[in-house]
Amino acid sequence: MLRTTVLATLLGAFAVALLMHPAGADAKRGITLGFAEPRFSSENVKTRDKWFDRAEESGGKIARVGIGWRGIAPNEPADPSDPDSAGYFWAGPDSAVREADKRGMDVIFTIGVAPNWAEGANRPASVLGGTWKPDPNKLATFGKALAKRYNGNTPDPLNPGQKLPKVNKYEVWNESNLSAFLTPQTENGQNFAVEHYRKMVNAFYPAVHAIQSDAQVIAGSLSPIGSDTSGGAGERQGPLKFLRELLCVKGKKKVKPFNCGEKISFDVLSHHPINVDRPPLAKAKGDDAGIAETPLIKNMLKVSEKAGTVATPGKHPLWMTEIWWNSNPPKKGNKIPTLDEQAAYIEESFYYLWTQKIPVAMLYQVGDEKGSVFQTGVYFDSGKPKPSQTAFSFPLVGDRKSKTKVGVWGIAPASGKVQIQVKGKGGSTTKKLKAKKGGVFQTTVKLKGKGKISAKLGKDKSLTWDQSA
């Protein structure tokens, strides 16, 4: 499958940006790729299996599974810290972790949507249920129940003699800078969402670690697009603004810490660098943050770690737990990326994030879903692969290093010898190198001017990378 030429201006801008952030020479440093897919928790067995199978076929190593607190505990259990307490319904997450485990995939649980009994009082009728002032202490207790059930020692109720697979990655809430997920964003002129979210994470962190000492509590998970406009059902705020207050730092380019009182405790910071319909390294406006703003977020985190405004010591990785582009088709519109552009954007984003030493990157979704506003999958709803499925499973990127040399970067879909073919004005050349399944491979090839680069490993073929001059 060949990718058609992406606009030279796009590739040229991408190459310039990468040269400003050169890749390290150590191909041993990898990046774990995965999917966030709502249908991983589908009650329909065929639907759940279909998209887990497609995720596995694509080489996904990690699955982001939504944990709808409201659906799991619609009424307050007699003992909310006990996962066996009457009132808990675990069928959905149980099924998801079984399916992931069968396929060798790790799981991230993303907790959200508070039940009525765990929300704050006097929720306005205009506010979405599950978002209103979730009680931090009740969230912590729910965290205990989660950590106990998925500690790796719980008997599987559907498979006698077996145990439920372990889950130790817990992402606290989804896109808390949007009123679609956390309300109110502001209250009495204050940034309520940031302060309340800090309390939620700080309550959840020790509760889960008391049960699983090796747990990874993930904070952030912010929408890339916001505004400072207050009021209304669509209230939102920019992720950089939200993070500055959350991490107790100020400034955008020259970042400095400040004393904000309560520090936050987490193991991993996450973000959703979604560029919507723009190329991977298109600059965001104001306090928005797409892929190109990754260095800004990393710098904020570094300053906060050094100053101790993050309560947990040491370095904290930055994970990208939701990235997507719609494709045309099935969506229609002049600004919506074509199938080939979607594929190119995915490859380029993985490479750039790798240069930034991001260890985890996840696409939303595995496949399109009829009737959804999101048509972001690497498969069509029918299960037919798009070019982006190859971009995910066998990404390949060229990065010009000089007038005569191009760096080639990729991720191998299997273990073996990768054959890299380069076609230019001077003819064709082939280079071979060893690679491990899911591992990064790198080399440098000779290419003056424009050319085409592709890779093959056994029966697997990458898309063709159109190298600009």
The pLDDT of residue 17 is 47
Domain extent for 85: 31-393
pLDDT tens readout for residues 349-374: 999 999 999 999 999 999 999 999 99
- Give yes or no: residues 291 and 427 share one domain: no
What's this model's pTM, rounded to 2 decimal places?
Answer: 0.94
Q: Does residue 348 share a domain with residue 281?
A: yes
At residue 325, the pLDDT reads: 98
Our count of domains for the chain comes to 2
Last residue of a domain, one of 357, 378, 393: 393
Distance of CA 32 to the CA centre of its chain: 10
Whether the per-residue pLDDT at 153 is higher than 50: the answer is yes
63 and 206: one domain?
yes
- Torsion over CA of 301, 302, 304 and 305, rounded to 10 degrees? 110
User: What CATH code is carried by the domain that includes residue 3?
Assistant: 2.60.40
Confidence band, pLDDT 50/70/90 cuts, at residue 391: very high
More confident residue, 426 or 429: 429
Q: At which of 351, 374, 393 does a domain end?
A: 393
Neighbour-count burial of 330, counting CB atoms closer than 10 A to its CB (0-12 exposed, 13-18 middle, 19+ buried): middle
Which candidate, 270, 277, 281, places its Cα nearest to that of 217? Answer: 270
| Torsion angle in degrees (nearest 10) through CA of 449, 454, 455, 461 | 180
User: Could you tell me whether strands 451-457 and 416-424 are parallel, antiparallel, or unpaired per DSSP bridges?
Assistant: antiparallel
CB 377 within 8 A of CB 368: yes
Whether 187 and 140 map to the same domain: the answer is: yes
Task: For residue 428, report the phi and psi dihedrals to the nearest 5 degrees.
Answer: -115, 145
Q: Is the pLDDT of residue 231 over 80?
A: no
* pLDDT of residue 2 exceeding 90: no
Same domain? 137 vs 243: yes
Distance (Å, whole) CA 361 – CA 355: 13
Indicate the pairing of strand 465-467 with strand 318-323.
Answer: unpaired
Whether residues 206 and 306 share a domain: the answer is yes
Indicate if the pLDDT at residue 18 is higher than 80. Answer: no
**Banded pLDDT at 252 (limits 50, 70, 90):** confident
> Cβ distance 3 to 344 under 8 Å?
yes
Residue matched to tokens 């990208």: 320
Per residue in 111-126, pLDDT (tens digit) is 999 999 999 999 999 9
The set of residues, in sequence order, having a beta carbon less than 8 Å from that of 230 and lying 6+ positions away, is 185, 186
Q: Looking at the structure, do residues 291 and 404 belong to the same domain, yes or no?
A: no
Q: How confident is the model at residue 234 (pLDDT cuts 50, 70, 90)?
A: low
- Is residue 13's pLDDT more than 60? no
Q: Do 10 and 158 share a domain, yes or no?
A: no
Say whether both 334 and 425 belong to one domain: no
- Mean residue pLDDT across the chain: 93
pLDDT of 80 above 50: yes
Residue 24: per-residue pLDDT = 43
Last residue of a domain, one of 363, 393, 423: 393
Closest CA relative to residue 83, chosen from 26, 153, 158, 13: 153
Length of the chain: 469
Question: Can you give the C-alpha Rg of the chain in angstroms?
Answer: 23
pLDDT tens for each residue of 154-208: 999 999 999 999 999 999 999 999 999 999 999 998 899 999 999 999 999 999 9
pLDDT classification of 27: cutoffs 50, 70, 90? low
> Tokens 């299996």 — which residue?
49
Residue 16 has pLDDT above 70, yes or no: no
Classify 318 as helix, strand or coil: strand
Percent of the chain residues topping a pLDDT of 90: 89
